[in-house]
Amino acid sequence: MLRRLASLPVVLFCVVTITFFLIRLSPGGPFDSERKIPEAIEKQLLAKYKLDGPLMGQYTGYLRDLIHGDLRLSTKYRNRSVNEILAQTLPVTLTLGATAFLIAFVIGVWLGSFAAARPGTIAEGGALALTLLAISLPSFVLGPLLILIFSIKLAWLPVGGWGSPLQLILPAVTLAIPYAAVIARLLHDSLKETLAEDFVRTARAKGLSERAVVFRHALRVAILPVISYLGPLAANLLTGSIVVETIFHIPGAGGFFVNSILNRDGFLLGGVVIVYCVLLVVFNLMVDLSYRLLDRRIRES
């Protein structure tokens, strides 16, 4: 575990380095526009945004600022710091992501155990077919379709925007559905294997109800593959939220990310990537820890 903790700064360092050089080595500067800016002003601008001097100097300077928690200034949204922009947009993205995470987990676990508890029935086949359909509906397909049905034809839910709980429903569901299906399939497979094991037979022989066998005994063991999928799931949700925010016009960090690529807004781009990676690495560490705790408890009991 300590080794994992130690690898955290190494991973972050690699992420920062790769991001910085990818951005700085791309052709075209942030101040290239149709109209040529006078040289003196451009020089001043470059100095203000610390984009002058040799590349290695810029890189070490950026690292130093990052260590102090300074993500620098955005070159597009003048006079706003990246910290400021992220402080406004990140809570939106995280609310969306966390809601989708919960939906995916709850629906996935429910559907997976529903299917696995009914081996060989039409219900199992139907549930599995449903998951196959859901996996084939990525968010950029599902989002516009849901808007078409629920916002335009039926006019039950708002087309987009942010602020009320109603506006959260469609985007969170759009983001969650494919991953709920992945979780359901993972859990279904591992639960079926677990249900064939000896300790489950013992539990059944004790006269426990099927419900108690599945939920109290088998699920504890079978959930482990799902737990280890939570890390990649978080990464996918964070990436997926970029598209969902675009579809539903949500003012989150994802929209700024796309714009910062188009605007060559290097520090904003770097800021979003670095903060996303920090969040994911920390989240993975927590998942790892809980996996170990669960795993050890299971082996001890």
Partner 1 sequence: MSLSLPLPKSARLPALLLAILILAVLAGPLLFPHAYQLPGSDTYAPPSTSHLCGTDLNGRDLLLRILEGGRISLLVGICGAAISLLIGTTYGLIAGSSGSGVDNSMMRFVDILYSVPRLIFILIFINAFNERLQLAASNHGWDWLVSSSRLVILILSLGFIEWLTMARIVRGQTLTLRERSYVAAARVLGEGYWKILWRHLLPNMTGIILVYLTLAIPSVIIDEAFLSFLGLGVQAPQSSWGSLLAEGAASINPLKGAWWLILFPSLALLATLLAIYSLGDALRRSLSR
The residue ranges that bind partner 1 (CB under 8 A) are: 7, 11, 15, 18-19, 22-23, 25-28, 132-133, 135-138, 140-141, 143-145, 147-148, 151-152, 159, 231-232, 234-235, 238-239, 242-243, 246-247, 257-258, 261-262, 269, 273, 276-277, 280-281, 283-284
Q: Which is closer to partner 1, CB of 208 or CB of 278?
A: 278
Q: Which is closer to partner 1, CB of 40 or CB of 152?
A: 152
Minimum distance from CB of 138 to partner 1 (Å)? 5
Q: Which is closer to partner 1, CB of 137 or CB of 169?
A: 137
**Please, are residues 24 and 265 in contact by the beta-carbon 8 Å criterion?**
no
Q: Which is closer to partner 1, CB of 208 or CB of 294?
A: 294
What H or E segment, with its residue span, contains residue 284?
Answer: helix 266-300
Minimum distance from CB of 65 to partner 1 (Å)? 20
Minimum distance from CB of 204 to partner 1 (Å)? 25
Concatenated DSSP letters for 200-248? HHHHHHTT--HHHIIIIIIHHHHTHHHHHHHHHHHHHHHHHHHHHHHHT
Q: Which is closer to partner 1, CB of 75 or CB of 213?
A: 75
Minimum distance from CB of 141 to partner 1 (Å)? 5
Q: Which is closer to partner 1, CB of 113 or CB of 241?
A: 241
Minimum distance from CB of 29 to partner 1 (Å)? 13
User: In 3D, which of 115, 287, 235 has the Cα closest to residue 185?
Assistant: 115
Exposure on the CB side of residue 103, measured as CA atoms within 13 A: 19
Minimum distance from CB of 274 to partner 1 (Å)? 11
**Residue 298 to residue 215: CA distance in whole angstroms:** 15
Cα-to-chain-centroid distance, residue 58: 30
Minimum distance from CB of 28 to partner 1 (Å)? 8
User: In 3D, which of 54, 6, 77 has the Cα closest to residue 256?
Assistant: 77
Q: Which is closer to partner 1, CB of 208 or CB of 227?
A: 227
Amino acid at position 149, single letter: I
Residues 6+ apart with CB under 8 A from 184: 107, 108, 109, 111, 112, 115, 127, 131
User: In 3D, which of 261, 108, 130 has the Cα closest to residue 190?
Assistant: 108
Place of tokens 């400021």: 84
